[in-house]
Amino acid sequence: MRSEKEMFDLLLGIAREDERIRAVYMNGSRTNPNVPRDIFQDYDIVYVVTETGSFINDANWIQIFGELLIIQEPDKNDKLLGRNTNFDKSYGYLMLFTDGNRIDLHIETKESMLEGYTKDKLTVPLLDKDDILPPIPAPSDIDYHVKKPIEPMFLGSCNEFWWCLQNVAKGIWRDELPYAKQMFEYIIRGELDKMVSWWIGTKTDFQVSAGKMGKYFKKYLPAAYWDMYEKTYSDHDYDNFWDSIFIACELFRTLAKDVADYFSYSYSVDDDKNMSQYLMYIRNLPSDASEIL
């Protein structure tokens, strides 16, 4: 696997030699001092170019970066699907190489760069041949910190969590595993993850990021809570699925009450109590039942 130095030497060496490339900057996790370094970190690189056409028209030019294992060109895929794209302004290549390194390369014109360069606070300039990159402060992940919920947001999350559990329950009773699982994983877990993030925020003065898709939950949750969170994932067995649902309810309840106390918000004990009783009833409802209650 090529080292970090080798990769930066390659990326900047190509830019220095190619007159079409006028500036280079980086964003993503490698610019964030709070992200642990590891072998899977991408190189999120942007080349500011005089024009994009000569790059796009030469499908083989990217071979200069190494032997590809697989590539994705999101802009090309979007265009094939009829979505609005402008190749004249920018174009992207997501490249995984046979040595394990990955480069997410974006080429864009100066005009495109000026539209977005200062918007991402996790940005580091690497090369500027013409002094075209605007001045920016040192990189910061402040935009990714957990945000404080206003009370309607908190109440809405609680209501959505308890309300949509009825859909999970009926999906299990009907033996509709895909529906029940997706309702739980996309809706219920979404609200649970919000509550986990808000709880982490209350313990860190809202000065940290919980990570994309909650990838830092384990870092910030106490061991007992993380153990509960792990157990919200189950297999296809309905008994195990039901167990995970009730653990999710217990964890959500515990965290939501803490968050409510922190902000002096209200927590709907009635929704919690009524739906918990309903879930227990549906779990024990015979599969040939002719009525619910």
CB atoms within 10 A of CB 3: 9
Residue 229, pLDDT score: 98
Q: Is 31 left (phi over 0), alpha (psi -120 to 50) or beta?
A: alpha
Which of 3.10.20.340, 3.30.460.10, 3.30.413.10, 2.30.40.10 is the CATH number of 4-141? Answer: 3.30.460.10
Measure the CA–CA gap between 279 and 21, rounded to whole angstroms: 60
Which of 3.40.50.300, 1.20.120.330, 1.10.3720.10, 1.20.1260.60 is the CATH number of 145-283? Answer: 1.20.120.330
Strands (DSSP E) along the chain, which ranges? 21-27, 43-49, 68-72, 90-97, 102-109, 123-128
Q: What's the pLDDT tens digit per position in 57-68?
A: 998 999 999 999
Average pLDDT over residues 9-15: 98
The pairing of beta strand 43-49 with beta strand 102-109: parallel
Is the alpha carbon torsion for 48, 95, 116, 55 positive or negative?
Answer: positive
Strands (DSSP E) along 123-282, which ranges? 123-128
Residue 261, pLDDT score: 98
Residue 293, pLDDT score: 81
Measure the CA–CA gap between 133 and 47, rounded to whole angstroms: 11
Amino acid identity of residue 22, one-letter, is R
Residue 69, pLDDT score: 98
> For the chain, what are the domain ranges?
4-141, 145-283
8 Å CB contact between 249 and 143? no
Q: Containing H/E element for 276?
A: helix 269-283
Cα 76 to the center of its chain, rounded Å: 23
Average pLDDT over residues 121-134: 97
Give yes or no for residue 264 having a pLDDT over 90.
yes
8 Å CB contact between 183 and 168? yes
